[in-house]
A and B are shown apart, each in its own frame.
Chain A
Amino acid sequence: EPEVTQTPSHQVTQMGQEVILRCVPISNHLYFYWYRQILGQKVEFLVSFYNNEISEKSEIFDDQFSVERPDGSNFTLKIRSTKLEDSAMYFCASRAGRHGLAGGGEQYFGPGTRLTVT
C-alpha cells in the first residue's frame, strides 16, 4: 500500500539553526500539506501546497517557514532560524484530489519528524 514517508524521524538542532524536513508524498497525489503537533496538544495546520505554490497557510507559518517541491517526488519544509517553541512533531500529508475519483478527499499522513530545538 502506498504511503507517505518522512525523513529524518528525529532531528535535534540548536536554537537559531536552519532545519529542512523532508517528505515523499504518495506518488500520484496532487495536494501536499504540513501540520505540526506540539507534545500534548492538537494537530495544527501549517500550509497547503498545490501546483507548485502555496494555496493556504496558517498564522503559525510565518516568514521563518518555507516549503518547496524541488523535484517530482520530494516536498520539504524549511525553518530558517529555529526557536525553542518550534519543538514539535511535524507531519506531512498528501491527498489525491482527482475529481471523480473515490477517496480523493482524504489526507494520508506520514510518520512525522520529531524536531527538538535546544
Chain B
Amino acid sequence: RKEVEQDPGPFNVPEGATVAFNCTYSNSASQSFFWYRQDCRKEPKLLMSVYSSGNEDGRFTAQLNRASQYISLLIRDSKLSDSATYLCVVRGSGGSNYKLTFGKGTLLTVNP
C-alpha cells in the first residue's frame, strides 16, 4: 500500500461546482495532515492543515478520520482560480524533523 494515496483524477468541473478530494494514508502513527496546492511547475503552497475535529476556511472544508486513515478536502462554489493540483500531505511519527510525505496529487480544472 502506498504511503499516501489520492484519487488519480483529473477532475474537470464547471465554475460553481462542489468538488471533493479523497486521500488515504498507510502509517497509523502519522501526526499531522495537510492539503497543499501546486500550480503547474510551481512550488507546493499550504492550503490548510487538517484537524480531527474538521476545519473550514471559507469555501474549503477538510476532514480527518484517524480510524479509517482517511483525509478529505471539499471545495464549494469552485472558481477558475481553484484550478491546480491538490496534494495530500502527511507528517510521519517520531522525532522532531517533521518529514513530509506527499501523495501524487489530483489535478483539478475548473471550466468557465
The verdict on B32 contacting chain A, using a C-beta distance below 8 Å, is yes
* Chain B residues with CB below 8 A from A48, complex form: 97-99
Q: Could you tell me the distance in whole angstroms from the C-beta of B47 to the nearest C-beta in chain A?
A: 11
Place the interface of chain A in its size category.
Answer: 20 to 34
* Chain A residues with CB below 8 A from B32, complex form: 105
Contact check, A43 vs B97: say whether CB atoms are below 8 A apart. Answer: no
Residues 76-99 (chain A) with a chain B CB within 8 angstroms: 89, 91, 93, 95, 97
The segment out of B38-46, B56-64, B70-78 that lies at the interface is B38-46
Q: Could you tell me the distance in whole angstroms from the C-beta of B51 to the nearest C-beta in chain A?
A: 12
Known: A42-B104, A42-B105. A107 touches B43 (CB 8 A): no
Closest to B103 in A: A42
Contact check, B95 vs A55: say whether CB atoms are below 8 A apart. Answer: yes
The verdict on B101 contacting chain A, using a C-beta distance below 8 Å, is yes
* Chain B residues with CB below 8 A from A56, complex form: 95, 97, 99
Contact check, A50 vs B96: say whether CB atoms are below 8 A apart. Answer: yes
Q: Could you tell me the distance in whole angstroms from the C-beta of B70 to the nearest C-beta in chain A?
A: 19
* Chain A residues with CB below 8 A from B91, complex form: 105
How far is B49's CA from A112's CA once the two chains are assembled, in angstroms?
A: 22
Q: Could you tell me the distance in whole angstroms from the C-beta of A23 to the nearest C-beta in chain B?
A: 12
The verdict on B25 contacting chain A, using a C-beta distance below 8 Å, is no
* Chain A residues with CB below 8 A from B98, complex form: 31, 48, 95, 97, 105, 107
Subset of 29 A-B contacts with CB under 8 Å = A31-B96, A33-B100, A35-B100, A43-B44, A43-B87, A43-B102, A45-B99, A45-B101, A48-B97, A48-B98, A48-B99, A55-B97, A56-B95, A56-B97, A56-B99, A91-B43, A95-B98, A97-B96, A105-B32, A105-B49, A105-B91, A105-B98, A107-B46, A107-B98, A108-B46, A109-B45, A110-B43, A111-B43, A112-B43
Which 7 A/B pairs are nearest by Cβ-Cβ distance? A109-B43, A48-B97, A43-B102, A55-B97, A42-B104, A56-B97, A42-B102
